[in-house]
Structure 1
Amino acid sequence: MNRIYLKGQVLEDRPDFISEADDKKRKNFKVMLARYLSTPLPEEKVDIHLNDETFTVHCDELGYFSKWVTTKSSFEEGWHTARFSICDSEGVEQCSRSGKFLIKNETPQFGVISDIDDTILVSHATQLFRKIRLIMTKNSKTRLPFEGVAEFYQQLSHEGKNPLFYVSSSEWNLYDFLDDFFKVRNIPKGPFLLQEFKSGIKDLLFTGGGSHQHKLQKIRRLMDLYPNMHFILIGDNGQLDPLIYHKALIEFKERIKTVYIRKIKKHDAIDPVVIADFEKYKVPLLLIKDTSEAEAHAKAQGWVHS
């Protein structure tokens, strides 16, 4: 028996976005705009298919559905496929999509919770015009990760034995972009925990904004879901990651192995109170310029191997 959590959203008139490395800026602009102009469909009934079992769930007012299902099927650890379908009033299937879910290893060494923008993906999130230029003119094939990220995260994953969770202030609008970017750059697959779907040009221009407190809520959910797992937290100092991870430290100090913070802002030091608490609880807090510094520390701890 497996208990599996599945979440999705039903949207109207959302095409499949397929990007290529040689796409023109005009196409990239139109595709990104389309991601923020799709319309959620509320109250739809969605059938979830797992092998020969079917479960039914209803969307909320924003088109979201989520459900814990207990299945008779026995899934091995790793990634598996679920199919989602919508039928008309006569039971005729109108559309169908598939998605992946993760069955984690029963005895991981640790889990990883990582931010995405300016931690993995070069985003210039603190520089509005540079950020917009990247978002609107490039795509998942042409955006760049920070050097060494893919190799380091592969080592942390340890061939999939340690789960990686990506907690980001990017919206669900960007899920397909992020999923493709991770594939192209060979960054280990992991569940994305993103901000709620937004609609409109203003939301596109200010993507990734807000209080970022949803990150702490999602970290709490992961801690509750896996009460025996310890975590490595990875973020950057471009926005509020040090403060959010500090709050996580206060609540879960015995379960955080270390925190790596990529230095994006040159002159933005971490609050001395934050540093003092990390020292008090003997949890390493490393402000790094390059991924190689985090990798060297993780190797010294025996958490990763070349």
Structure 2
Amino acid sequence: MGYGNQGLIYLKGGVLENRPEFETKASDKRRRNFRIMLSRYLSSPIPEMDVQIILGKENFTTQTDEFGYFSVWVEPEHSFEPGWHKAIYVINDDDKEIYRTRGEFLIVGQEAEFGTISDIDDTILVSHATQLFKKLRLIMTKNAKTRLPFEGVSEFYQKLRSKGNPFFYVSSSEWNLYEFLQDFFRIRKIPKGPFLLQEYKSGLRDLLFTGGGSHQHKQDKINRLMTLFPKLKFILIGDSGQRDTEIYRQALHEFPNRILAVYIRKIGKKDDFDQKTSQEFEEKGVPLLLLENTEEAFVHAKKMGFIKA
């Protein structure tokens, strides 16, 4: 799922071989779930592959990088109305079409009151990201139909989405998990929005340490969204298990008057923000809340007028 404004659109995709289709059921056994998750990290990327992109009546061409992925900004001659639109991706070999698939991209319009940028693991999806063995047990033995969201997330996010307010999901999960996340969000009725994930990884070790790293890419992608939509203010949602508060604090300073509120789900033993962080948000007039549950965020958002009764 790409995204953009009425003059500039960002699209991303990958070309892989040995990539099976991932049809899962709630009744799938642990062994099958393990095989499917493993195969997500053992597919082979195809570098230097030309990809044709069709948006409406316009055509664009890009090429995959050494990891089999492409990231491209396109400037269509005609603008698209706000909302979701279809993108067609085509691979040709000697001028013969050998593969075609479709994707979507979101155009954010002027009618949006604000946008929401949300983390995924331990913010929406129960992941135990800070507890290695619990995390691996969930990843290896369950699938998109049996993993669970935190209570109330779907209803809260649906309320924030009203009036065309866009959602963006910035996560340290890898692109390997794209289909899993897409399926999970659809089943749990969480608002559709572009995923901004870590780069594709390959190998068993990468599966074992999925979601790790410096998380600096989150900051880079938040900066990209803030720059692409310069008039749009944002609500930021994350958790205390990783570096979300620190990342959002950087955004607070780099993009003044652009953040409406920050909601941080309490994970583990972290009881409070340090005094310096709380003071910085307070001085900027931005509410920073450490939450035990989704209901607390719902009540605050209603009080602030972000959602209606």
In the superposition, the TM-score normalised over structure 1's length comes to 0.96
Q: How does 1:176-191 map to 2 (within 5 A)?
A: 176-191=179-194
User: Could you list the per-position Cα deviations for residues 88-125 of structure 1 after superposition, in whole angstroms to 9, with x for gaps in the alignment?
Assistant: 12x11111121111112322111111000000000000
Give me the whole-angstrom Cα distance separating, in 1, the residues matched to 2:72 and 2:210. 27
- Residue 93 of structure 1 corresponds to 97
Give me the whole-angstrom Cα distance separating, in 2, the residues matched to 1:50 and 1:300. 41
Distance 1:86 1:244, change over 3 A: same
Computed over aligned residues only, the root mean square deviation of the Cα atoms, in angstroms, reads 1.3
Cα deviation, residue 80, structure 1: 1.5
Q: How does 1:1-306 map to 2 (within 5 A)?
A: 2-89=7-94, 91-159=95-163, 161-306=164-309
Give me the whole-angstrom Cα distance separating, in 2, the residues matched to 1:269 and 1:37. 40
User: Could you list the per-position Cα deviations for residues 237-284 of structure 1 after superposition, in whole angstroms to 9, with x for gaps in the alignment?
Assistant: 011111111111121231111100000123353222111111111111
Secondary structure class of the residue paired with 1:179: helix
Cα deviation, residue 73, structure 1: 5.0
Give me the whole-angstrom Cα distance separating, in 2, the residues matched to 1:47 and 1:78. 23
Cα deviation, residue 21, structure 1: 1.0
CA contact (8 A) 1:85 1:96 kept: yes
Secondary structure class of the residue paired with 2:296: helix
Secondary structure class of the residue paired with 1:71: coil
Give me the whole-angstrom Cα distance separating, in 1, the residues matched to 2:85 and 2:284. 38
Distance 1:267 1:104, change over 3 A: closer
- List alignment gaps of at least 5 residues for structure 1: none
Give me the whole-angstrom Cα distance separating, in 1, the residues matched to 2:110 and 2:253. 27
Secondary structure class of the residue paired with 2:71: strand
Amino acid at match of 1:9: G
Matched-pair identity in %:
62
Query: Matched residue pairs, number?
Result: 304
Distance 1:74 1:267, change over 3 A: closer
Secondary structure class of the residue paired with 1:86: strand
Secondary structure class of the residue paired with 2:272: coil
CA contact (8 A) 2:240 2:270 kept: no
CA contact (8 A) 2:175 2:199 kept: yes
Give me the whole-angstrom Cα distance separating, in 2, the residues matched to 1:110 and 1:204. 35
Secondary structure class of the residue paired with 2:12: strand
Secondary structure class of the residue paired with 1:295: helix
CA contact (8 A) 1:237 1:268 kept: no
Secondary structure class of the residue paired with 2:197: strand
Give me the whole-angstrom Cα distance separating, in 2, the residues matched to 1:143 and 1:227. 36
Give me the whole-angstrom Cα distance separating, in 1, the residues matched to 2:153 and 2:13. 28
Cα deviation, residue 49, structure 1: 1.5
User: Could you list the per-position Cα deviations for residues 137-183 of structure 1 after superposition, in whole angstroms to 9, with x for gaps in the alignment?
Assistant: 00001100000000000000105x11111000000000000001000
Give me the whole-angstrom Cα distance separating, in 2, the residues matched to 1:12 and 1:199. 12
CA contact (8 A) 1:51 1:73 kept: no
Amino acid at match of 1:144: L
CA contact (8 A) 2:272 2:290 kept: no
User: Could you list the per-position Cα deviations for residues 218-242 of structure 1 after superposition, in whole angstroms to 9, with x for gaps in the alignment?
Assistant: 1111111111111100000011111
In the superposition, the TM-score normalised over structure 2's length comes to 0.95
Give me the whole-angstrom Cα distance separating, in 2, the residues matched to 1:73 and 1:267. 50
- List alignment gaps of at least 5 residues for structure 2: 1-5
Cα deviation, residue 65, structure 1: 1.3
